[in-house]
Structure 1
C-alpha cells in the first residue's frame, strides 16, 4: 500500500496547516535544516555551485569536479549548505555541511560516470541567526550549475554548458529528451498511484526552482514564495536527503531516485513534491497552503 506524506508549512505571509510525518533516521543527533522567519537585514555576499570536467579519465570513467561555496555578510550561529547532484535526471551525489559561528562554507567532491550525461547541481544555502532574547531568524539563498559531458568512443572527451556546434546541439537534444522522458514517466506513475491530475498543477523540476528567488511562484507574492521555498528545502532535507521512507516503513538511500518535481496547484491550495525511488516506488510529499487573507 502506497503512503502519502504530509509536510507542514508555516510562513510569515501565509497561514498553513498540515500534518507532519518526519522521516525517522537511525542517528537522531544528525544536524538538520530548520526553517525560521527570514531576516531581510542579512545577505549572502556570494553563493555558488560549479561543475567542471577533469581532463583525464580514471578507471575508464570521466570525472566531474563538483564545488559548492557560500559566504554570509556576517557570522551566523549556524551555517548549513546542502547540495544535490543529478545525472541524467537521477540523484548521483549529495552532500551537506554545518558549522557554528562562521560565515563561510565550502564543499567539494569528484563524481565519476561512464557515459555521456547531463549534470544538474543545485544547492541550498542556509543560516540560523540568534538575536536578542529568544529571537531566531534565518537567511537563505540557492545556487546551481549544469554541464553536458560527451563521453563517446567516436569523439574526444568534452563538456559544454551552451551548445554551439552541431555536435553539441545534437547531444543536448538527446540528453535533454532523456531527462524529460524520465521525469514525465515518474509523474505518470505518481498520477496513477495517487490518482491526481497533473494538468491541475504548475510543474517545476527541482533544477529550475532557483528562478523563484527572483520572481514569485504564480499566484503568490515574493515574500510568500521565499517562505514556501524555505519550508520546501527543510522538508527535502528531512524526507529526501536523509533517506526516503517507503510504504513498508523502511528507509532507502535517495541515490538513484528521480529528480523531484514540484507541482503547485493552480488553485493555490497545495503543492506536491513527486519523486520515484531507485526501485520504482512513487513517493509524494504534500504541502497544504492557505492564503492569510
Structure 2
C-alpha cells in the first residue's frame, strides 16, 4: 500500500514537472523572434501598417486606429508580428501577436489622444518554416505608416500624411522642429554617455530603418542587409521590446537610435529601458554569404 502511494506521488510529480517544462518551452517560443536563414520558396502576400484618424470624442480628445497586418498564401509553423508606435518621437505603445500553424496576423488598436502630434508606426512581420531533419528557415518584412493630426481650437480636427495646404505645411514644420530638437538633444546625451565616435557611424532613428528594405547598407548587398535587419529585430525584441511590453505602461521612452559602423563591422542600438535608463546594445554584423 505504501509502495503504491509512493509510485503514485512520484508519477504525479513527474507529470507536474512535464507540464511546467512544456509551459516554459511554449513561453520561450512565444517570446522570441529568432532569425534563421531566409526561405526563398515563400514570401508574404501582403503586409501593411496603417494609422487613421477616426473622430473627435469630446473634451478635446480624438481617436486613432492603429493597424498592422500580414498574410501568407499558406500556413507555416510560426507567425509572429510586432508593431511599435511613437508620438512626437516618444514611445506611445507596443503590440504583438504570436501564432502557431497560421498564415495571417491582424493587430488592431484604437487609442485616444489630444493635441497636435506626429504619429509614426513601424512593424516587423516574421515567420518560421520548419522542415524535416530540424531544418529551420525564416521570412521577415517591415511595414510602416505615419500620420499628422492637427487638433487646434481655431480649426477643425484634421489629419494628413503629406501636407497639401500652406496651413498643413506650417503645422508639419512646427511639429517636426520641436520633435527633432528633443530627439537630437537626447541622442547626443546618449552618444556622449556611451563614448561613441560619431563620425565612424551612419545614424538611423528606429522608424527610418525601413528604408534599408529597398536600399541596402553602403557597401553591402540587399541580401546581406536583409540578414542584418532580421538579426537587429531579434536583438530589439529580446532587449528592448519584451522588457517594456511586460510593464503595465510605457514611460514615453525616446525613440531608439541605431548606429551602423561605416566599416560594416558592427552596429550599436542606444535606447532607454523600461526604467528609462540608457541601454547600449552591441551587435556584430554577419555579412557572410
Give the TM bin, normalised by the shorter chain: 0.7 to 0.9
Question: Per-residue displacement from partner, 1:228-267 (whole Å, max 9, x unpaired)?
Answer: 11111111111111125xxxxxx89654111111111112
Match of 1:158? 158
Q: Which residue pairs with 1:145 in the alignment?
A: 145
Distance (whole Å) between structure 1 residues aligned to residue 70 and residue 267 of structure 2: 29
Which residue does 1:37 correspond to in 2?
Answer: 37
Structure 1 stretches lacking a partner, 5+ long: 1-26, 245-250
Q: CA deviation at 1:100?
A: 1.0
CA distance 1:99–1:93, shift in 2 (3 Å): same
Closer, same or farther: CA 278–34 of 1 in aligned 2, 3 Å = closer
Query: Deviations 1:95-136 (Å, cap 9, x if unpaired)?
Result: 100111111110100122121100000000001101122111
1:268 is aligned to: 264
| Cα contact 1:93–1:111 (8 A) shared by 2 | no
User: Kindly tell me: are residues 106 and 140 of structure 1, through their superposed partners in 2, closer, same or farther at Cα, counting changes over 3 Å?
Assistant: same
Q: Indicate conservation of the 8 Å contact 1:268/1:290, yes or no.
A: no
Question: What is the match of residue 224 of structure 1?
Answer: 224
Q: State the partner residue of 1:3.
A: none
Verify: 1:123 aligned to 2:123, yes or no.
yes
Match of 2:167 in 1: 167
> Would the aligned equivalents of 1:85 and 1:120 in 2 still touch at CA under 8 Å?
yes
1:115, 1:277 → 2: CA distance? 26
Shift of 1:89: 0.3
Deviation at 1:199, TM superposition (A): 2.4
Residue of structure 2 in register with 1:193 after alignment: 193
Once the two structures are superposed, the pairs formed by residues 193-212 of structure 1 within 5 Å of their partners are 193-212=193-212
What residue number does 1:83 align with?
A: 83
Would the aligned equivalents of 2:251 and 2:276 in 1 still touch at CA under 8 Å? no
Aligned to 2:278: 282
Q: If the length of structure 2 is used for normalisation, what is the TM-score?
A: 0.84
- Cα distance per residue 1:28-75 (max 9 Å; x no partner): 675321111111111100000000001222553211100111001221
How much does 1:208 deviate?
1.3
The residue number in structure 2 matching 1:62 is: 62
Measured in 2, the distance between the counterparts of 1:113 and 1:191 equals: 31
Q: How many residues are aligned here?
A: 262
State the 1:282 CA deviation: 2.2
Structure with greater helix share of residues: 2
SS, match of residue 45 in structure 2: strand
| Within-5 A mapping of 1:74-113 | 74-113=74-113
More relative contact order, 1 or 2 (CA 8 Å, 6+ apart) = 1
What root-mean-square deviation, in Å, do the aligned CA atoms of Structure 1 and Structure 2 show? Answer: 2.2
Q: Distance in 1 between matches of 2:59 and 2:100?
A: 38
How far apart, CA to CA, are the structure 1 residues paired with 2:85 and 2:91?
Answer: 6
Matched residue SS, 1:56: strand
* Contact 2:82–2:95 (8 Å) recurs in 1: yes
